[in-house]
Amino acid sequence: MTTLSFDSLNPATGEIVGSHPKQTADAVHEAVGKAEKAAAWWAGLAPAERRRRLLDYKAVIAQHIKELAALVHDETGKPVGDATLEIVLAITHIDWAARNAHKVLGRRRVATGMIGLNLSATLEYLPLGVVGVIGPWNYPVFTPMGSIAYALAAGNAVVFKPSELTPGVGVRLAELFAESVPEQPVFQTVTGLGETGAALASDPRVKKVAFTGSTATAKRVMAACAENLTPIVAECGGKDAFIVDADADLRAAADACLWGAMSNAGQTCVGVERVYVVDAVYEGFIRELSERVATVKAGDQYGPITMPGQLDIIKRHIDDATKSGKVVTGGPDSVRPPYVDPVIVEDVPEDSPAVREETFGPTITVRRTRDAQEALELANASAYGLAGTIFSRNTRRAMELARMMRSGMTAVNSVISFAGVPALPFGGVGDSGFGRIHGADGLREFARPKAISRQRFAMPGMNLTSFARGADEIERLISLVTFLHGRRKR
Ligand code: NDP
């Protein structure tokens, strides 16, 4: 039987970067079978041994950082510097997951309470087995590693299906892991198109699926997982808002806004897409933004649009926004495939596609608001809820706004800064998905709580879970519970 293959292309030049097999459902199932055995072996290692292997993997990646960054550059088109930055972030996450896994997941005693006085209770988080990771192309190292590293650290084996646009990076990540863990295929990559991912999601031996990509595909993956009651963590897109309050440092805000919106050609799930600026500082902010954007150009500071089909969506949003709004920078001519130069449009109606739908391009809409409260209301009026930004010199007010923002993460006086803090969980609400990667929550996402209660001694006169129980024992129980819980709080 011949296996068909597909090419990954450099989106800037169209050159072939590599050729990879379109792995069939049979091949995926074979990989999952091997992963099941590897998972048992990996879970059987002492936590300290898994930690050592993962820290070694981190070192191997660090030693190959230039080679890996060049491959990311070739497959996505992003500048090598940006590719390096995402690998550095991935390294810090592997390090954190390795060092904290046992602390977060290891066995501990929990209090039993008065009624369970004769018990000893322990809680620990055990591995699930095989975790299927389905990844995107926009950050082909950092994003999937947010699931892979945490799943491995929690004692699972991983089968990873990278995006068809970045298969080479996915293959290399697993090859490098084998340098640190040569005995068993604890981390495997399977390559192919959507069907390969679908085969992974529908394999009943996969005990959890970690998906990153569009909301529409997340629903399809979830439907496939529903057949086997396989849980999923879904990290889907966003339409993140950036709020500039009246007392913000406008230069810093404009600088952060521009980078948050345009870096990686806007192909960032937590990228800035909507900007709300309080009336009192509106003109000043637009002035700062316009000055800075004049020096930013696609092909210089950032690369091409990686996925050719995305250009149509970006163009549709720009066409619509420039018809109804006022152009600050760029316009329909900014789309010059495969590049898109920065586009900034003011006063775009809140119900237009450029404000409601994920654009995933180097474009922003900017709107004047009466005050920060109105900015927050508009920011929160989105089906998405991934992340967002607040700029304000008043720390208390900024923290209040950040807490009220309907999103999984918010950066204050910085942009996307939460992604570089491994201890912080990452994920969204609403159409942005559910579940969390990164941090302690990210480790627990790939583990199952195991609760054990052990009787240390029989409670004299209180044998409640026995048919030999007498009425006097229930009376004693009522007295105890009334004493413990029967006082009203007025
Ligand atoms: P998709 O949601 O289509 O794909 C994401 C991943 O899912 C890829 O690995 C893809 O494989 C795989 N996949 C596709 N179909 C299935 C299926 N039926 N079952 C299992 N896996 C499947 O995203 P795209 O890459 O096409 O990008 C489309 C949009 O998604 C973008 O416009 C953007 O809005 C959003 N997006 C959001 C990202 C984020 O970080 N939140 C990242 C990337 C995209 P394959 O590549 O082979 O099709």
**Residue by residue, what is the 3-state secondary structure of the chain?**
CCCCEEEEECCCCCCEEEEEECCCHHHHHHHHHHHHHHHHHHHHCCHHHHHHHHHHHHHHHHHCHHHHHHHHHHHHCCCHHHHHHHHHHHHHHHHHHHHHHHHHHCCEEECCCCCCCCEEEEEEEEECCEEEEECCCCCCCHHHHHHHHHHHHCCCEEEEECCCCCHHHHHHHHHHHHHHCCCCCCEEECCCCHHHHHHHHCCCCEEEEEEECCHHHHHHHHHHHHCCCCCEEEECCCCEEEEECCCCCHHHHHHHHHHHHHHHHHCCCCCEEEEEEEHHHHHHHHHHHHHHHCCCCECCCECCCCCCCHHHHHHHHHHHHHHHCEEEECCHHHEECCEECCEEEECCCCCCHHHHCCCCCCEEEEEEECCHHHHHHHHHCCCEECCEEEECCCHHHHHHHHHHCCCCCCEECCCCHHHHCCCCCECCEECCEECCECHHHHHHHCEEEEEEEEECCCCCCCCCCCCCCCHHHHHHHHHHHHHHHCCCCC
> What per-residue confidence (pLDDT) applies to 2?
56
Q: Does the beta carbon of 194 lie inside 6 Å of ligand 1? A: yes
Determine contact, residues 386/296, Cβ cutoff 8 Å: no
- Determine whether the shortest distance from the Cβ of 258 to ligand 1 is under 6 A: no
Active-site residue, from 235, 346, 357, 358: 235
Catalytic residue among 269, 273, 288, 358: 269
Q: Is 361 in the pocket of ligand 1 (CB under 6 A)?
A: no
Q: Is 237 in the pocket of ligand 1 (CB under 6 A)?
A: yes
Cβ atoms 390, 264 nearer than 8 A? no
C-alpha of residue 163 to centroid of ligand 1, in Å: 7
- The pLDDT, as a whole number, for residue 58 is 98
Atom of ligand 1 lying closest to residue 268 CA: 40
Name the residue with the closest Cα to ligand 1, atom 46. Answer: 163
What is the distance in A from the centroid of ligand 1 to the CA of 243? 29
Mutate to test the pocket of ligand 1, among 191, 214, 230, 382 (most ligand atoms within 8 A of CB): 214
Cα-based distances in Å from 207 to 55, 159, 444: 25, 11, 14
Cα 75 to middle of ligand 1, angstroms: 16
- Take atom 41 of ligand 1 and give the residue whose Cα is closest: 237
Could you tell me if the CB of 262 is within 6 A of ligand 1? Answer: no
Atom of ligand 1 nearest to the CA of 238: 41
Residue 269 Cβ contacting ligand 1 at under 6 Å: yes
pLDDT in tens, the chain (490 residues): 557 999 999 999 999 999 999 999 999 999 999 999 999 999 999 999 999 999 999 999 999 999 999 999 999 999 999 999 999 999 999 999 999 999 999 999 999 998 899 999 999 999 999 999 999 999 999 999 999 999 999 999 999 999 999 999 999 999 999 999 999 999 999 999 999 999 999 999 999 999 999 999 999 999 999 999 999 999 999 999 999 999 999 999 999 999 999 999 999 999 999 999 999 999 999 999 999 999 999 999 999 999 999 999 999 999 999 999 999 999 999 999 999 999 999 999 999 999 999 999 999 999 999 999 999 999 999 999 999 999 999 999 999 999 999 999 999 999 999 999 999 999 999 999 999 999 999 999 999 999 999 999 998 888 899 999 999 999 999 999 999 999 999 8
pTM of the model: 0.96
Nearest CA to ligand 1 atom 15: 194
Q: Does residue 214 have its Cβ closer than 6 Å to ligand 1?
A: yes
The answer to whether the beta carbons of residues 169 and 72 sit under 8 Å apart is: yes
Instruction: Tell me how far apart the alpha carbons of residues 50 and 56 are, in angstroms, rounded to a whole number.
Output: 10
* 235 flagged as catalytic: yes
Q: Is 316 in the pocket of ligand 1 (CB under 6 A)?
A: no
The answer to whether the Cα torsion of 9, 79, 249, 432 is positive or negative is: positive
The number of angstroms, rounded, from the C-alpha of 347 to the middle of its chain's C-alpha atoms is 31
135 CB less than 6 Å from ligand 1?
yes
230 lines ligand 1 (CB under 6 A): no
Distance 136 CA to ligand 1 centre (A): 6
Atom of ligand 1 nearest to the CA of 224: 19
Query: What is the spatial distance between Cα 188 and Cα 298, in angstroms, rounded to a whole number?
Result: 35
